[in-house]
């Protein structure tokens, strides 16, 4: 349990640090766009190598594909609800929502993986992706005048706490979960992550930074791929 707790904090602390930076500091738009694009690249690598591929190999195309589409659909519907609420910070809320929707299954899978002696590669991928995602999301939340800095930071801290809890819970439940449920969790997380990238993170990075953010995305992918 101690290892699971440590790994959980390993994913939550970068998230909280990123949120603090985004809420307290006005980053230049090119830098913020680069960080968001870099984070998108790491998430692409994580989906491909750490989430969907093992789910596909273990559970097959039907189960993994269905879970993938379910994860994407849940995020898209929830994101649409946020957009209908309006506000210039809708993208910021969407990124936080995406962190929860892909972070909970990812961290659950991380906790389960610890039971077999693995998990380090997935930990690195999650931690690397959490920093720019939190910076971008919290910076955009600053545009919402109805949300104070303290409240916004508290929401990100709460998200980090959830990630720690589900990591420990996943580790404790590892002996009771079969291969198919784990594969479904991984594929669901992959679908939610793909939807986050398509709906929020990459479009916002392009709007803020322009055409060259593709280079930062490629750099993020390469770093996460090599670390994985």
- Separation CA 201–CA 39 (nearest Å): 9
In total, how many domains does the chain have? 1
Please state, for a pLDDT cut of 90, what percent of the chain lies above it: 20
Query: Is-contact 125 228, C-beta < 8 A?
Result: yes
Give me the domain span that covers residue 36: 2-227
CA 189 to CA 177: how far, in whole Å? 17
| Residues 121-136 pLDDT 10s | 678 778 877 887 788 7
The pLDDT score that the predictor gives to residue 85 is 63
Q: How many angstroms separate the CA atoms of 155 and 172, rounded? A: 26
pLDDT per residue as tens digits for the range 74-93: 888 887 776 676 554 555 66
Place 205 in a pLDDT band, splitting at 50, 70 and 90: confident
Summarize pLDDT for 30-65 with one digit per residue, the tens: 887 888 888 888 888 888 887 898 889 989 999 999
* pLDDT score recorded for residue 11: 92
pTM above 0.85, yes or no: no
Average pLDDT over residues 107-113: 80
Quick check: 185 pLDDT over 60?
Answer: yes
Query: Distance between CA 209 and CA 226 in Å, rounded?
Result: 25
Q: Which residue has the higher pLDDT, 194 or 133?
A: 194
Per-residue pLDDT tens over the stretch 96-106: 676 776 678 77
Q: What is the DSSP letter of 228?
A: -
Mean pLDDT, the chain, as a whole number? 82
- pLDDT score for 114: 78
């Amino acid at each position: 349990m101690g290892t699971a707790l440590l790994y959980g904090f390993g994913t939550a602390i970068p998230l909280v640090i990123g949120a603090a930076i985004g809420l307290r500091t006005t980053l230049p738009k090119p830098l913020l766009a680069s960080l968001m694009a870099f984070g998108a690249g790491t998430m692409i690598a994580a989906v491909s190598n750490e989430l969907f591929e093992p789910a596909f190999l273990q559970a097959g195309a039907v189960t993994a594909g269905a879970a993938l589409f379910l994860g994407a659909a849940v995020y898209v519907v929830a994101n649409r609800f946020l957009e209908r609420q309006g506000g210039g910070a809708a993208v910021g809320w969407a990124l936080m929502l995406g962190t929860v929707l892909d972070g909970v299954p990812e961290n659950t899978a991380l906790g389960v993986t610890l039971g077999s002696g693995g998990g380090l590669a997935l930990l690195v991928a999650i931690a690397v992706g959490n920093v720019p995602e939190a910076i971008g999301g919290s910076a955009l939340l600053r545009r919402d005048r109805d949300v104070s800095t303290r409240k916004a930071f508290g929401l990100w801290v709460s998200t980090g706490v959830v990630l720690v809890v589900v990591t420990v819970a996943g580790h404790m439940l590892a002996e009771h979960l079969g291969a198919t449920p784990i594969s479904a969790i991984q594929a669901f997380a992959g679908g939610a992550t793909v939807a986050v990238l398509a709906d929020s993170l990459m479009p916002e990075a392009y709007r803020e930074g322009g055409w060259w953010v593709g280079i930062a995305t490629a750099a993020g992918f390469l770093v996460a791929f090599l670390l994985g």
